[in-house]
């Protein structure tokens, strides 16, 4: 993936953490105002740029459950097909689920599933894009989590012990802070 060329300056960090809430312009916690109250960040002065975020998570299950999914034998149908649609829908509805997220005009959502038979794991990767004033990390994370929850829902009759985890942002591009890639 080629990151957008816009702004690569690092985000400003406060020099004195005790002033972070008192001066929200330098606070790393931008969802709090000067009085410490939660608020939706004003992004009106930010430039519209191409923004991309990729996130990933996984669900571990019994080998027999994984075989049901791969063979298309799950009782509720095409598990990964339904999980893909659920993940896309979740990315589009993130602002309805996360109280301080801005509703964004998402331009692209891609969901990929990778099966690791040796580990009995399915990994879900979401890439979300927009042209806007704020990033799409929350949309990518929400897509991953809902995709994994859908797999759980569709297979819980066969395996209630499935475990979801390692949900994280892999990379983000665009905006004033530029690009960030997980180490």
Could you report the per-residue pLDDT of 68-116, keeping only the tens digit for each? 999 988 888 899 999 999 999 999 999 999 888 889 999 999 999 999 9
Q: Please, what is the Cα angle at 161 between 82 and 159, to 5 degrees?
A: 55
Looking at residues 29-57, what average pLDDT do you find?
82
DSSP state, 104?
-
Q: What is the pLDDT of residues 129-183, one digit of tens each?
A: 999 999 899 999 999 999 999 999 999 999 999 999 999 999 999 988 899 999 8
Mean pLDDT of 45-59: 93
Q: Which residue has the higher pLDDT, 12 or 59?
A: 59
Given a cut of 70, whether residue 13 has pLDDT beyond it is: no
Distance from C-alpha of 28 to C-alpha of 121, rounded to nearest angstrom:
35
Judged by average pLDDT, the poorest of 19-23, 27-31, 134-138 is 19-23
Catalytic residues: 153
What pLDDT does residue 77 have? 85
Residues 6+ apart with CB under 8 A from 93: 142
Across 14-20, average pLDDT = 39
pLDDT at 4 over 50: no
CA distance 133 to 127: 18
- Between CA 17 and CA 28 the distance in angstroms is 9
Q: How confident is the prediction for the chain on average, in pLDDT? A: 86
Report the pLDDT averaged over residues 46-59.
94
β-strand 106-116 against 121-132: which pairing, if any?
Answer: antiparallel
Task: Tell me which residue has tokens 């331009």.
Answer: 107
pLDDT bracket for residue 38 (50, 70, 90)? confident
């Amino acid at each position: 993936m080629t990151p957008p060329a816009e702004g690569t300056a690092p985000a400003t960090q406060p020099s004195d953490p005790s002033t972070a809430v008192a001066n929200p312009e330098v606070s790393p916690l931008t969802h709090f105002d000067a009085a410490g109250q939660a608020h939706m960040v004003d992004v009106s002065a930010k430039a519209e740029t191409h923004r991309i975020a990729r996130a990933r998570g996984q669900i571990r299950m019994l080998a027999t459950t994984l075989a049901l999914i791969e063979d298309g034998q799950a009782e509720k149908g095409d598990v990964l097909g339904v999980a893909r649609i659920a993940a896309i829908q979740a990315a589009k509805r993130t602002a309805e689920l996360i109280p301080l997220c801005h509703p964004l005009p998402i331009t692209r959502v891609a969901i990929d599933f990778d099966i690791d038979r040796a580990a009995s794991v399915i990994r879900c990767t979401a890439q979300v894009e927009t042209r806007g004033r704020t990033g799409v990390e929350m949309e990518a994370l929400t897509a991953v989590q809902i995709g994994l929850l859908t797999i759980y829902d569709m297979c819980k009759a066969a395996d209630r012990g499935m475990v979801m985890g390692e949900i994280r942002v892999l990379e983000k591009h665009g905006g004033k802070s530029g690009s960030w890639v997980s180490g």
